């Protein structure tokens, strides 16, 4: 039985359930510990924390997800027990969100030039003030009938190798780990390897060396029990986490995206011992400080 899900998105970034709807869904699915990890924002956390109070058997870890660039790819970092009252951290997040906005507008322009006539106004309406991301553009493309599912938009147009892809301001993975540590959050590498339902997302190159380097900068864990990973992928990552002394984390990465076969809360996640390990590190004044 799955009791923990440490990777979830809400309407405050590119998820399609509000924090309240998401927390209720997780409670219905019998989860005991969840973390909300929106992209570049903590603004959904107060509502989620308030809603969780109605479910005494469940607790919420405040989290965040940051995207970083490496040559030829991306590494995402999750931060747990994030201190969302940290003003300097919030200023940085706000800059990342501005970067998302510019980049989304440029992607819509590129799509328009390619004959995909979705409007920037509609994309902004769909995002409704959230940290705007490619899934909002994908949704506009579904609505307008250009693709059947959001994932199809990634495959042809807005995925890393798509014709309408545009870069945005991103940190390096080490910078993101340091930023999270400075905030007091515990950094964890997200989805380290290939995911079959997210075309165009490859494994992190030189995974072991990358993890070792990040661990020296303050990384404490990596996702192992993630999304649609196969038992073989989980076994490989679990061995690696063990060898490197990293906490084996994970979760569904649920967005209510509308993609077929999307892993849902309650179908995948780490054991409760993972939460205990994170809590111990949190109180331990971790490495790098
Ligand atoms: P962004 O933050 O704008 O770079 O968008 C990244 C988000 O898009 C991820 O967190 C996923 O929710 C989604 N995503 C990335 N790649 C894919 C894919 N191939 N298919 C569907 N969704 C994807
Ligand atoms: Zn996302
Ligand atoms: Fe991610
Ligand atoms: Fe995510």
pLDDT tier, 21 (very low <50, low <70, confident <90, very high otherwise): very high
Q: Which one of 97, 134, 171, 257 would you pick to mutate in the ligand 1 pocket, going by the greatest count of ligand atoms within 8 A of its CB?
A: 134
Q: Relative to the alpha carbon of 257, which ligand is closest? A: 1
pTM of the model: 0.97
Summarize the confidence of residues 104-108 as an average pLDDT. Answer: 98
Looking at the predicted structure, is the pLDDT value of residue 73 above 70?
Answer: yes
Beta carbons within 8 Å of 21's beta carbon, 6+ residues apart: none
What pLDDT score does 252 carry? 98
Instruction: Note the pLDDT of residue 226.
Output: 98
| Averaged pLDDT score across all residues of the chain | 95
In tens, the pLDDT along 139-191 reads 999 999 999 999 999 999 999 999 999 998 889 999 999 999 999 999 999 99
Residues 74/203, Cβ–Cβ less than 8 Å: no
Distances (CA, A) of 9 to 57, 63, 136, 190, 226: 21, 10, 13, 13, 14
Closest residue CA from atom 23 of ligand 1: 198
Band (269; pLDDT cuts 50, 70, 90)? very high
- How many angstroms separate the Cα of 184 from the Cα of each of 86, 141, 218, 242, 252? 9, 39, 11, 24, 24
pLDDT 10s digits, 245-267 = 999 999 999 999 999 999 999 99
pLDDT digits (tens, 9 = 90+) for 109-145: 999 999 999 999 999 999 999 999 999 999 999 999 9
* Region 92-105 average pLDDT: 97
Closest residue by CA, ligand 1 atom 3: 133
pLDDT at 197: 78
**Pocket mutation for ligand 1, best pick of 14, 41, 158, 167 (most atoms within 8 Å of C-beta):** 14
Mean per-residue pLDDT, 270-285 = 94
How far, in Å, is the centroid of ligand 1 from the Cα of 215?
A: 25
Q: Which residue has the higher pLDDT, 136 or 195?
A: 136
Question: Of the bound ligands, which one is closest to the alpha carbon of residue 76?
Answer: 3
Residue 64 CA to ligand 4 center (angstroms) comes to 9
pLDDT one-digit tens code per residue, 196-254: 878 777 788 899 999 999 999 999 999 999 999 999 999 999 999 999 999 999 999 99
Residue 16: predicted pLDDT:
98
pLDDT at 71: 81
Residues 258 and 19: beta-carbon distance below 8 Å: no
Distance 131 CA to ligand 2 centre (A): 10
Ligand 1 pocket mutation pick from 63, 66, 135 by most atoms within 8 angstroms of CB: 135
Q: What is the largest CA-CA distance in the chain?
A: 55
Q: What is the mean pLDDT of residues 277-285?
A: 90
Instruction: State both tokens at 248.
Output: 């084996």
Ligand 1: lining residues by beta carbon, under 6 Å: 14, 39, 67, 133-135, 150-151, 154, 159, 198-201, 255, 259
The pLDDT, as a whole number, for residue 285 is 64
Q: Which of 172, 37, 41 is nearest to 95 (CA)?
A: 41
């Amino acid at each position: 039985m799955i009791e923990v899900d440490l990777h979830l998105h809400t309407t405050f970034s590119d998820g399609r359930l509000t924090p309240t709807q998401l927390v209720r869904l997780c409670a219905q699915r019998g989860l005991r510990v969840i973390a909300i990890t929106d992209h570049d924002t903590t603004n959904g956390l107060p509502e989620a924390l308030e809603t969780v109070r109605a479910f005494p058997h469940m607790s919420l870890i405040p989290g965040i997800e940051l995207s970083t660039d490496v040559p030829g790819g991306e590494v995402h970092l999750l931060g747990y027990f994030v201190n969302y009252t940290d003003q300097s951290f919030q200023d940085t997040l706000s800059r990342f969100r501005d970067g998302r906005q510019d980049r989304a507008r440029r992607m819509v322009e590129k799509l328009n030039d390619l004959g995909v006539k979705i409007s920037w106004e509609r994309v902004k309406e769909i995002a409704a003030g959230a940290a705007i991301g490619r899934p909002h553009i994908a949704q506009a493309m579904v609505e307008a009938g250009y693709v059947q599912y959001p994932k199809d938009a990634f495959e042809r147009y807005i995925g890393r190798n798509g014709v309408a892809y545009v870069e945005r301001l991103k940190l390096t993975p080490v910078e993101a780990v340091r930023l999270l540590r400075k905030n007091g959050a515990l950094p964890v590498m997200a989805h380290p390897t290939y995911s079959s339902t997210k075309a165009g997302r490859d494994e992190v190159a030189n995974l072991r060396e990358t993890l070792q380097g990040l661990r020296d900068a303050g990384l404490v864990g990596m996702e192992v029990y993630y999304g649609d990973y196969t038992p073989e992928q989980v076994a490989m990552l679990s061995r690696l986490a063990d060898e490197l002394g990293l906490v084996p984390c994970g979760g569904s990465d649920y967005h209510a995206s509308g993609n077929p076969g999307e892993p849902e809360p309650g179908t995948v996640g780490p054991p409760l011992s993972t939460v205990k390990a994170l809590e111990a590190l949190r109180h331990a004044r971790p490495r790098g400080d």
